[in-house]
Amino acid sequence: MVVLTDIYPAFERPIAGVDISSLVEILRHHHDAVTYLPRGADFVHKLRAFLRPGDFVIGFGAGDLGNELHHLAQIWAQKDQRDPYETPRKRHV
């Protein structure tokens, strides 16, 4: 799965035609599972809900994204504690 979030220009001018909608659309032509997840107060917990044992996360970005991914790693490492934002999975008996 590929999860994309908001993109912003740093100190350069935005490049015409390069925005999150375009990137999502292009990637969906080449990959079956592409999701856009907007940044916000619950970004880390929503991203955590996508993760399964054995997954890994690669993050590229600036600003506070690094801090958010560090927080995600802390939540992920707490295997003995359930994430209150995690969606419970249905068990098949």
Residue 64 belongs to a domain: yes
Q: How many domains does the chain have?
A: 1
- The CA distance from 56 to 59, in Å, is 10
pLDDT of residue 87: 55
On whether residue 68 sits in a domain, the answer given is yes
> Domain for residue 87, yes or no?
no
Structural domain including 40 reads 2-77
For the question of whether the overall pTM of this predicted structure is more than 0.75, the answer is no
Spatial separation of the C-alpha atoms in residues 36 and 51, rounded to whole Å: 15
* 31: in domain: yes
- 28 is written with which tokens? 């969906």
Is 85 domain-assigned? no
Q: Could you say which DSSP state residue 92 is in? A: P
More confident residue, 27 or 89: 27
Alpha-carbon gap, residue 30 to 37, rounded angstroms: 19
pLDDT of 20-66, one tens digit each?
999 999 999 999 899 999 988 899 989 988 888 888 888 888 778 88
